[in-house]
Amino acid sequence: MNLSEKLDNRVFGIISEAADELQVECYVIGGFVRDIFLKRPSKDIDIVTVGRGIELAKIVAKKLGKNTGVAVFKNFGTAQIHLRKLDLEFVGARRESYQRDSRKPMVEDGSLEDDQKRRDFTINALAICLNKDRYGELEDPFGGLEDMRNMLLRTPLNPDITFSDDPLRMMRAIRFACQLDFDMVPEAFEAIERNKERISIISGERIADELNNMMKSRKPSVGFRLLDASGLLDIILPEIAALKGVEMKEKVGHKDNFEHSLEVLDKLSGQSDNVWLRWAALFHDIGKPASKRWDDKAGWTFHNHNFIGEKMIPGIFRRMRFPMNDRMKYVQKMVGLHMRPIALSEEIVTDSAVRRLLFDAGDDIDDLMMLCEADITSKNKEKVRRFLENFQLVRQKLHEIEQKDRIRNMQPPVSGELIMKTFGLNPCKEVGLLKSAIKEAILDGVIPNEFEAAFAFMLERAKKMGLKPIDVGDAANR
């Protein structure tokens, strides 16, 4: 492969020219080089120089012109240039040493090989020279290219040193194995098993970033199985680890909910790139260990596991430093509602039940149905076929009811403010009771989702509660 042809962006020529002017060795290194061989797009370019990295960045920014800015981080010895389609990071080659209780290294200037040694994997230690006299030459002292051909992840140094120095690299190893479909060499995986407790010094945010990148892969279950086999899963996501295993009683066992959850996750990942829906797929049964009971007639039961799981989500998100915003609420909603369409598919679908599902799911109803269809993992093909056919009926009914009653994201046509004006009330329990009664009447199909019908229903219900309107005509016009 002619690597100089792969460096066709003009920015490489500018960096080469600037490096020669400074008389410093200069290389593009890491993920960008790896992705050239893997034929993957990459916008993050790491430039390493043997000395004067920040100075090189400033000269490059000046040559790029058009008011190109450079961000300098003196504490880290790095500089960054953000272009429209590329992000450049410049750093001087360095060697690192670590203290036991920190992943922040002590840094000193070093050679290119020193810098390559500190990389996480041989496939990320590949470097291409940018100096004019050696432009396009590959530096591969640890056999990264051969490892890439063999689809292997190997550390440049002893893996115990690599993973103990920076335990986040254990997460990166599993994420790369999942994303790239590579295998870890046995000694690397065994080192993760030995060093797994070191993950405790890594911040939740960094772990969450790796998990989210893993979750975006084509088949996320690969990563979660590696986390489990290495022992990291018990530390990072004990709620998922708790799903493992099958308990037998009177020769009756339940499904392995860990394997089931991973199967659901992979099925859904084939349908949706929504990373938070994928998390919902992984978490959908986390309430089962706490709800598992043996019933002499029914066998193993997991009653209300969806509600238990729903309550567990905020604690997991908080611990994992996931966003405590609408994304958390979305996952919580998916976990809490995932049994509802399944229940509908097993019985006569009533308009009332469909209205309530539409009201509770709102704009997320399509995602919920996708999750529930992925949740059908029975080995009985006839059972799967029957469930999926019933789901189609549920989908059809959802569409019909929404077209007719406009329930999705419904706001009751009579507001609390109008109720208070009509009866001369301040905020109180009676206002809430009337609002709730109107909502329930619409969902039950007693009245249509229209103002006139809702207002008349409110007057009738208020009369039974002993409330008298001040001026019905005036209030109704408000």
- Residue where the block lists tokens 């099925």: 267
Residue 67, pLDDT above cutoff 60: yes
Q: What are the tokens at 376?
A: 């059908």
Mean predicted confidence (pLDDT) in 55-70: 89
Beta bridge partners of 78: 73, 91
pLDDT, position 450: 84
Q: Give 6's pLDDT tier (boundaries 50, 70, 90).
A: confident
Which amino acid is it at 316?
A: I
pLDDT, position 105: 58
Q: What are the tokens at 193?
A: 């098993």
Rounded CA gap, 110 and 89, in Å?
18
Report the Cα 306 to chain-centroid distance in Å. 20
pLDDT, position 478: 47
Rounded CA gap, 386 and 392, in Å?
10
- Greater confidence, 41 or 346? 41
pLDDT, position 51: 83
Question: Taking a C-beta distance cutoff of 8 angstroms, is the pair 38, 130 a contact?
Answer: no
Q: Give 102's pLDDT tier (boundaries 50, 70, 90).
A: low
- Greater confidence, 153 or 353? 153
pLDDT tens-digit map of 408-455: 666 778 888 899 999 888 989 988 899 889 888 888 888 888 888 889
234 burial via Cβ count (<10 Å: 0-12, 13-18, 19+) = middle
Q: Which helix (H) or strand (E) holds 118?
A: none
pLDDT, position 471: 63
Question: Taking a C-beta distance cutoff of 8 angstroms, is the pair 303, 293 a contact?
Answer: yes
Q: Give 368's pLDDT tier (boundaries 50, 70, 90).
A: very high
Mean pLDDT of the residues in the chain: 89
Question: Taking a C-beta distance cutoff of 8 angstroms, is the pair 451, 422 a contact?
Answer: no
Q: Give 89's pLDDT tier (boundaries 50, 70, 90).
A: very high
Compute and round to an integer the Cα radius of gyration of the chain. Answer: 30
- The conformation of residue 323, written as its DSSP 8-state character, comes to -
Rounded CA gap, 406 and 409, in Å?
8
74 burial via Cβ count (<10 Å: 0-12, 13-18, 19+) = exposed
pLDDT tens-digit map of 199-239: 999 999 999 999 999 999 999 999 999 999 999 999 999 99
The beta strands (E) that lie in 103-213 are given as 106-109, 127-129, 138-139, 152-153, 183-184
- Greater confidence, 399 or 346? 399
The bridge status of strand 127-129 relative to strand 183-184 is unpaired
Report the Cα 153 to chain-centroid distance in Å. 24
Q: Which helix (H) or strand (E) holds 120?
A: none
215 burial via Cβ count (<10 Å: 0-12, 13-18, 19+) = buried
Residue 473, pLDDT above cutoff 60: no
Question: Taking a C-beta distance cutoff of 8 angstroms, is the pair 271, 316 a contact?
Answer: no
pLDDT tens-digit map of 118-145: 899 999 999 999 999 999 999 999 999 9
Residue 101, pLDDT above cutoff 70: no
Rounded CA gap, 370 and 323, in Å?
23
Which amino acid is it at 341?
A: P
Taking CA atoms, 61 is separated from 50, 71, 87, 193, in Å, by: 19, 10, 12, 44
Rounded CA gap, 148 and 265, in Å?
28
Residue 249, pLDDT above cutoff 80: yes
Burial pattern 164-183, b for ≥16 Cβ within 10 A else e, equals bbbbbbbbbbbbbbbbbebe
In the chain, what percentage of residues exceed pLDDT 90?
56
- Residue where the block lists tokens 């208020």: 462
- Greater confidence, 475 or 264? 264
pLDDT, position 66: 76
